[in-house]
Amino acid sequence: MINIYTDGACRGNQNTFNMGGWGFVLTDKATGKARHCWGHEANTTNNRMEMTAAIKALHAIRNRSRSEVTVYSDSNLMVKGMTEWLSGWKAKGWKNSGKKPVENKDLWVQLEELSALHNVTWQHVKGHNGNAGNELADQLANRGADGQQGKQDFVGGM
Amino acid sequence: MINIYTDGACRGNQNTFNMGGWGFVLTDKATGKARHCWGHEANTTNNRMEMTAAIKALHAIRNRSRSEVTVYSDSNLMVKGMTEWLSGWKAKGWKNSGKKPVENKDLWVQLEELSALHNVTWQHVKGHNGNAGNELADQLANRGADGQQGKQDFVGGM
RNA sequence: GGACACCUCCUAUA
DNA sequence: TATAGGAGGTGTCC
């Protein structure tokens, strides 16, 4: 049983330079160990940061044997995307309900590939609801958005 | 040289009560003056409001001597209608390509009559693309749709 | 099938 | 207030 809390943040807006941050908290019930990572990226969007957080977390366990994984995120977009919309997008050539191209296809594809390696449950949580894991992931993401040097290049297994 | 930006809005849908708004911005290069007007109408459609916005604007200059006028709209329907389809509709007894009656004939007729008084150029602009004139017309139309009292009864020349 | 609009709703971010 | 993203839908034309 692996629990992952993810969060993304993004400072600034539109055409002006902005800075995004992502963070995740990963706890392994079996080993009792936890680890947290964060990073940042320039000129991005809040939604890309939310997705990137999950990609980084899943990437961290890509070499593990197939496990029960639960990803908690306050991004309704990501949770609904992975659980309800993804199959439809692929069937319709990555077009959304308005017949326009789905945004951030590159990240959706990565999420699908990485989540296929385990039995992943996607769970939506309300942001800032006192949930300890979500609060910590939020802090990590903001640490990234603030430009603090994180473990962006984290690639190892646990 | 008169430039006109128009936009329409319509809140709600189908069988329930809805409220539409129209707005235009009219700038006269010669005098350097600008004016903006808006209004609202109940139980209408988005397309009727787009057309109404242009009708109100052209009506405002109906008594002016023949002028060069450019109407900017994000309604592909109205721009194509006035520049490409109108002559065909009249030749075919106001039937569209599907042999069904053209909708909103009353407004198309008004647009044709009013635009015949000047040398009107119809120009399509993408909505919400940072175009200042279009943005302002959008705000005026929404002001109308929100039910704010506008200059619905505007009839005067400039 | 294509195009341009117009909404209703949901979540996050600043 | 605004942007970034998604689901539904209608209004209209070709």
- Cβ within 7 A of any strand C atom: A 7-13, 46, 50, 74-77, 98-99, 126-128, 138, 142, 145; B 7-13, 46-47, 50, 74-77, 124, 126-128, 138, 141-142, 145
Q: How far is CA A102 from its chain centroid?
A: 17
Tens-place pLDDT, residues B122-133: 999 999 888 889
Domain that holds residue B150: 2-155
Nearest protein residue by Cα to C1' of nucleotide D9: B13
Structural Rg of chain B based on CA atoms: 15
C-alpha span between A145 and A149 (Å, rounded) = 10
CA distances, A141 to each of A24, A39, A127, A153 (Å)? 8, 7, 13, 15
The arithmetic mean of pLDDT across residues B16-38, rounded, is 91
pLDDT at position A155 is 38
C-alpha span between B32 and A74 (Å, rounded) = 51
Q: Which of B50, B118, B133, B144 is catalytic?
A: B50
Distance B148 CA to C14 C1' (A): 29
pTM: 0.79
* DSSP sequence for A5-16: EEEEEEES-TTS
Across all strands, nucleotide nearest B89 (CA–C1')? D13
Tens-place pLDDT, residues A16-54: 578 888 999 999 988 888 989 999 888 888 888 999 999
Average pLDDT, chain A: 86
- Residue pair A27/A136 in contact (Cβ under 8 Å)? The answer is no
CATH of the domain at B26: 3.30.420.10
Q: How many domains does chain B have?
A: 1
Neighbours of B146 (CB within 10 A): 14
Nearest protein residue by Cα to C1' of nucleotide D6: A77
Neighbours of A36 (CB within 10 A): 19
Across all strands, nucleotide nearest A50 (CA–C1')? C12
ipTM of the complex: 0.77
The arithmetic mean of pLDDT across residues B34-46, rounded, is 93
Q: Is B144 a catalytic residue?
A: no
pLDDT higher at A92 or A26: A26
The arithmetic mean of pLDDT across residues B140-145, rounded, is 92
